[in-house]
Chain A
Amino acid sequence: GENVEQHPSTLSVQEGDSAVIKCTYSDSASNYFPWYKQELGKRPQLIIDIRSNVGEKKDQRIAVTLNKTAKHFSLHITETQPEDSAVYFCAASRNTDKLIFGTGTRLQVFP
């Protein structure tokens, strides 16, 4: 079945450094790739998304890149801050089908 692999499972960075999280998807028909940030006990919150007709998207300190040929997409956070600490999930879907989530990355930003 469809699956999404996500790496690394944990990531520790110093405040101000960059963080990169990578995902690989299996369903070549996937056309929507969101990233969610989830704090402990709270709902997943959409932080950025990209559609298959776009290769890169940026929103302030956050950017996402998509390589459809390799079926890879990545989240880049620059100038990390302690409040960026959370669990980040990538996901993939086709149109309004269910989201297939990755296994999550716990990001810790140390002051």
Chain B
Amino acid sequence: EAEVAQSPRYKITEKSQAVAFWCDPISGHATLYWYRQILGQGPELLVQFQDESVVDDSQLPKDRFSAERLKGVDSTLKIQPAELGDSAMYLCASTPAEGRINEQFFGPGTRLTVL
């Protein structure tokens, strides 16, 4: 069964450093989401792509976070500089273009620890 891929699975960095996360959605999935999940809370959307276009980035801290999906397939989320409060699980999800278009399939996540 196809799955959303993410890397790295774990990342430890020092504050003020730059970090980048990668996501490869399920083949054919047009919509891609990046969520941030702080320990003990539910995931919250950072950015949503439809193909290569940003649909919603209203909760993305744009002074330090950036995201791209240049060819409408895989995506990269970057943080520069990282802050202590960025420690969280970063989850990528995707949805199919047809059929069950609501159902979001989550990747395994990248757990970021900022020291």
Contacts and interface: CB of A to CB of B under 8 A. Distances in A.
Interface of A: 31-32, 34, 41-46, 49, 51, 89, 91, 93, 95-99, 101-104
B106 A44 contact: yes
Nearest to A46: B103
B102 A43 contact: no
Contacts of A98: 33, 45, 48, 56
Interface stretch (B12-20, B36-44, B61-69, B78-86): B36-44
B54 to A, nearest CB: 12
Contacts of A44: 43, 91, 106
Given A41-B111, A43-B106, A43-B108, A101 B101 contact: no
Contacts of B44: 101
Contacts of A31: 102
B25 interface: no
Given A41-B111, A43-B107, A44-B91, A102 B42 contact: yes
A43 B109 contact: yes
Contacts of B106: 43-45
Contact of B102 (A32, A45, A101): A32
B95 interface: yes
Name the residue among A44, A98, A102 with the largest chain B CB count within 10 angstroms: A98
B1 to A, nearest CB: 12
B5 to A, nearest CB: 12
